[in-house]
Amino acid sequence: MQIRIDKNIPATMRDGTVLQSNVYRPEAAGPFPVLLTRTPYGKDMASSFVVDPVRMAEAGYIVAIQDVRGRFASQGQFGDNECELEDGFDSVEWAAQLPGSDGQVGMFGASYYAWTQWAAAMSQPPALKAVVPLIAYADHWEGAAYRAGAFEWGLMGAWQMMMAVSDLTRRAATTPEFPRLFAGLFQDLDQLASEGYWELPIAEFAPLAKVGMNFLRQHVDHDTYDEFWRNLSFRGRLESLGIPALHIGGWFDVFAQSTLNSFTEMQRAGQTVRLVMGPWTHVNQSAAVGDLVFGSGASLGLLGLRDDINSLHKKWFDWHLKGSTAPDIAAFAAEPPVRIFVMGDNRWRFAATWPLPETEYTPLYLSGNGAANTRSGDGQLQFTPPTDPSGVHDQFVYDPANPVPTTGGNLLLTPDFKTGPQEQTSVETRDDVLVYTGAPLGADVEVTGPVTAHLWISSSAPDTDFVVRLCDVWPDGRSYNVVDGVLRAKFRSSMTTPEPLTPGAVTAITVDLWSTSQVFKAGHQIRVVVTSSSFPRWSRNLNTGESSERTAAGVAAEQMVFHDAAHPSHILLPIIPR
């Protein structure tokens, strides 16, 4: 089939702002459904599309790729996310009226492109019939700008500097100092890991201030879950969406839990949804992720030798936009709605719901004799509750001037920080890290579902952070991160009303480690790590009780983790019977 590409096709929004799109269309007679994606990264940058627009046009779709407001060829001012709701509605209805359209629109795309799908869907344009949000967030507060109250400094710093590059380029003709500013911006970007991330206060971040673009200030000024964040959250609103959604995410993606939460909310409301979760990061959906290789079938390009990313989209849209009853579409529609990759076993499995209905939530308790510092300490894990007398604890000093470095995980930082599963020796040999390790397993143990840590702690500070990590220890001693989480302690009870700690008082906290699917193989050991930082992924808590983003002075904090009969600190594992 011959394909025609029309570039810079205008769409006028309700306020008169003109957004530009590239449109791929079959030369054959229509009408055809339209697939729309809306991007801040440039409609001409093919590497960011995820889906091949030519291949989808050959499959009988018109494909429109649009620059969002204020980016590249589109008019207006970028940065007001609330505009994406109105622009999403207007763009969908514009796409439905394109020459050759049959009036039905589907949306696709990853990350910010996925956010624009949710924004458009929330505005309920009549022509929107299906969406495929990939590595998506539906809530700016939890997991995008903040995580349990801790600022996502690594993600926000790197992303906003990359956005500043294209923003400055857009203003080149009207900026006499453009060559100097442009070169300086890239120099600052290259030095982000060694210098920029260490700047305090974060709100005054110099590399962005130099070029007149600093959305960080807006983010850190709203450091509780207030009206600003509620307006940018779709939590609790997806249940009434009524638009079929294929959710695709990765266990090591920065938005992994958002993908799972969005699917769960829609499924519980009885909507037509599917979930695909692979062992992927935000930018790597191959079979080799971090330090590990999960097998060829793990990649988004093969999906267990059943699909690739393009065929998966085609099946979804053929089902919902074309009403196809072809055998392959009928078989796809009949599949169980949950498709997840089980790491360790390195295989895909199907299920009816998430979390899996057979899940047995099992506590694994911290224990030891009070010297769990480093992997050489005496920290242990056991499936039986502790019987130790009151007061047994481990302790360490957290100094924000010397934080534990981010090593692997659900990251989107500069290339200096490797993503996914990474060997943890450099972290686990630090004295400010508590390490608890179980005995070698006699049989495989599958952990699939949400993981939480329930700790009794005390601190000398009125506010501090606790970071908890679940690791898989191989027989040769290598330790790989599986899933982790953070809690800024003043948010332990509420994200809207911070509550200081009482220094020295024993306090119960819960740390959400998000979710995973990992088989700890026989002979391996389960490990839990407790510390107070992962920098620069999360901003350093300065331990003063003041804003850790708007102030610069910090103090060291003395931290304690209790694990006695009265304070049975544990990690709650979602174990699947085998």
List residues with catalytic annotation: 111, 253, 282
Strand partners, 351: 338
Half-sphere exposure of 66 (CA within 13 A, CB side): 32
State both tokens at 325.
Answer: 């009853």
Which residues pair with residue 453 across a beta bridge?
Answer: 511, 571
Strand partners, 133: 109
Q: Is 111 left (phi over 0), alpha (psi -120 to 50) or beta?
A: left
R_g (Cα) of the chain, nearest Å: 24
Helix axes 112-122, 83-96, angle to 10 degrees: 80
Structure tokens at 546: 């003041």
Task: Kindly state the tokens that stand for 273.
Answer: 């949804």
The owner of tokens 């085609």 is 314
Q: What is the dihedral of CA 303, 309, 312, 318, to 10 degrees?
A: -170
Buried b (16+ CB within 10 A) or exposed e, 398-429: bbbeebbebbbbbbbbbeebbbbbbbbeebbe
Pair of tokens at residue 127: 């022509």
Task: Give ∠ CA 220-224-229 in degrees, rounded to 5.
Answer: 85
